[in-house]
């Protein structure tokens, strides 16, 4: 007999090749799977809610794994953290979920944050955790431009050229641009996202902020349905997966 456990995860993506297990370096998934095997004493798959790229961080990634019945959720959390002390990964909480739960397919929404530091001086404390943008950015223009992304669109212009999603159509429920201290924060929420979608949106919004684009140019880029019509891909290290939403029956304890 086994239990299915939902875990919420925080990690610094800098040392990893991304979430997904790969042969070219350490991944977040493989590191947690190795930690689980250390106390379960057999291999187990840790299935994540989203495949963050190399360098992308998380404060609210979600995943599930199967453990022997003798391990309750709290014990799983404590045991995983005990075996993760040498790496920048922390299990924030854990809860038992029904067997029909899947971290990826049961999700009803995903929330991301993109951080930009628009100043000439490089960051010291947040190096590798924000996009250092040396130019002034007009926040008001970026807010206006962000509204054009809301709702359902063909996001071909804003996905990676090698994106494997069957459809480029996505519905963006939220895209807020806010000034938080010295930083500009872009908050995005949707059921699912395309590969590089948020990073390409962030890169495009900086063009608007620098007044190289008019806010209405976003509509032209969307209608073009070609990657070359949009702005540059913002660096991975400014992006954070901050939350994954599930129906109330699956909610974990925060």
Rounded to whole angstroms, the Cα distance separating 117 from 115 reads 7
Structural element, H or E, at residue 34: helix 28-40
Q: Give pLDDT, residue 1.
A: 87
What are the residue ranges spanned by the domains of the chain?
2-106, 109-242
Q: Are 7 and 90 in contact (CB under 8 A)?
A: no
pLDDT (mean) for 36-48: 96
Residue 182 dihedral angles phi and psi, to the nearest 5°: -90, -5
Q: Say yes or no to pLDDT of 166 above 60.
A: yes
Q: What is the pLDDT of residue 254?
A: 39
CATH of domain 2-106: 3.30.70.580
The whole-chain average pLDDT of the chain stands at 95
pLDDT beyond 60 at 146: yes
pLDDT in tens, 226-253: 999 999 999 999 999 999 999 987 664 4
Whether the per-residue pLDDT at 71 is higher than 90: the answer is yes
- 2-106 and 109-242 share one fold: yes
Catalytic residue among 34, 53, 138, 154: 53
Is 217 a residue of the active site? no
CATH number attached to the domain at 109-242: 3.30.70.660
């Amino acid at each position: 007999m086994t239990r299915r456990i939902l875990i919420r995860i925080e990690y610094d993506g800098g040392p990893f090749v991304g979430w997904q297990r790969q042969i070219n370096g350490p991944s977040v998934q493989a590191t947690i799977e190795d930690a689980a095997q250390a106390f379960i004493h057999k291999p187990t798959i840790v299935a994540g809610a989203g495949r963050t790229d190399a360098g992308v961080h998380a404060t609210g990634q979600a995943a599930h794994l199967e453990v022997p019945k003798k391990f309750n959720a709290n014990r799983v959390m404590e045991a995983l953290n005990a075996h993760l002390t040498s790496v920048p990964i922390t299990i924030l909480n854990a809860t038992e979920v029904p067997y029909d739960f899947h971290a990826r397919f049961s999700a009803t929404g995903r929330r991301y944050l993109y951080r930009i530091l628009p100043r000439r001086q490089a960051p010291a404390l947040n190096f590798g955790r924000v996009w250092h943008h040396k130019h002034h950015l007009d926040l008001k223009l970026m807010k206006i431009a962000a509204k054009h992304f809301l709702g359902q669109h063909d996001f071909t212009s804003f996905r990676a050229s090698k994106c494997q999603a069957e459809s480029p159509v996505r519905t963006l429920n939220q895209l807020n641009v806010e000034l938080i201290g010295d930083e500009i924060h872009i908050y995005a929420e949707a059921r699912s996202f395309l590969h590089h979608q948020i990073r390409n949106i962030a890169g495009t919004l900086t063009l608007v902020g620098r007044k190289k684009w008019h806010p209405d140019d976003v509509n032209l880029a969307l209608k073009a349905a070609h990657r070359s019509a949009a702005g540059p891909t913002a660096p991975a290290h400014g992006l954070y997966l901050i939350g994954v939403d599930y129906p109330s029956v699956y909610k974990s304890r925060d």
